[in-house]
Amino acid sequence: MSRELTYLITEENIGTSPLTIHGFLKGRGYSHAVLVSLKKTPEGILKNGVWARVHDTLSPGDRLLVRLVEEKTSDHIVPRPLPFPVIYEDEDLLIVNKPADMPIHPSQGNYENTLANAAAWYFCQKGESFVYRCINRLDRDTTGLLILAKHAYSAALLSRMVTDRKIHREYLAVTKGVPDVSGIVDAPIGRKDGSTIERQIDFVHGETARTHYELLTSEDGYSLVRIWLDTGRTHQIRVHMKYLGYPLPGDFLYCPDYTKIRRQALHSYRLSFLHPISQKPLSFTASLPDDMRAFFSASTLEQL
């Protein structure tokens, strides 16, 4: 993988103090690891066409070229021909619509059935080097949109955007029962005693968690709800909707009712953010999967 980025230095960039290449790139979100890699890359940094050191100073009118080169690959991830629906791809990132029953990362008992294995196969078929960098997380049985970074620099920028809550995510969930037209659940979430994975509302030791929801439609005792979050706690939507009294059917932890669906009825529907490098506004949607559509008639869904 090779990615070149060019910067034209202006008086505004320089300011009133001398500016080094290191300072300029740090200000652009280049992490320490990326800067170290650039120093080791032949002609990784060029100032006006000449190989430069990170501590060289910049002047207005200088042209800085950065070459990001990655030849290593995630060798420990076994390529497997698994579903890998790519919604969008450019030089810096991928948007993927993850299917159900697919973990994001390999783990004990899940070595060859993950999104990482699917990504490894995808890049192997293209003949490109591959380092797996999944930016946002979804539970194994939650479907929908995920971001993968294609190099270390975009990964650093996107990870910072997640921390700063600059990536807006919306979910669609099917709930048992009909909640209010809209509302906010503000209740802290903590780990349930005796369990390594289950969470619960915990007003004493839990972490702050805040969930917004809007009722879109309801039919035969089930509702389709749009959800967005102010925080990102583990199982936040699943725990908060159960706490509200409207759990997600098919959820093996919080509502093990498999009458109509075999996994929690939750879908990452929309992603909106500024491209980490170009700053172009991006927005993507992924249609409601068939197993969640099955709760409602076609006429009901057409009204949305």
Query: Catalytic amino acids?
Result: 139
Alpha carbon distance 286, 139 (integer Å): 17
DSSP assignment of 170-183 equals EEEEEEES---SEE
In order of 152, 215, 229, 234, 249, the CA distances from 212 in angstroms are 33, 10, 6, 16, 19
Nearest to 148 by CA among 69, 92, 77: 92
Contact status, residue 1 vs residue 128, Cβ threshold 8 Å: yes
Contact indicator for 64, 14 with CB cutoff of 8 Å = no
Return the closest-CA partner of residue 172 out of 41, 7, 289, 29.
Answer: 289
Q: By C-alpha distance, which of 273, 272, 276 is closest to 90?
A: 276
| C-alpha dihedral sign at 175, 178, 179, 181 | positive
Check if the beta carbon of residue 124 is closer than 8 Å to that of residue 154. Answer: no
DSSP state of 99: P
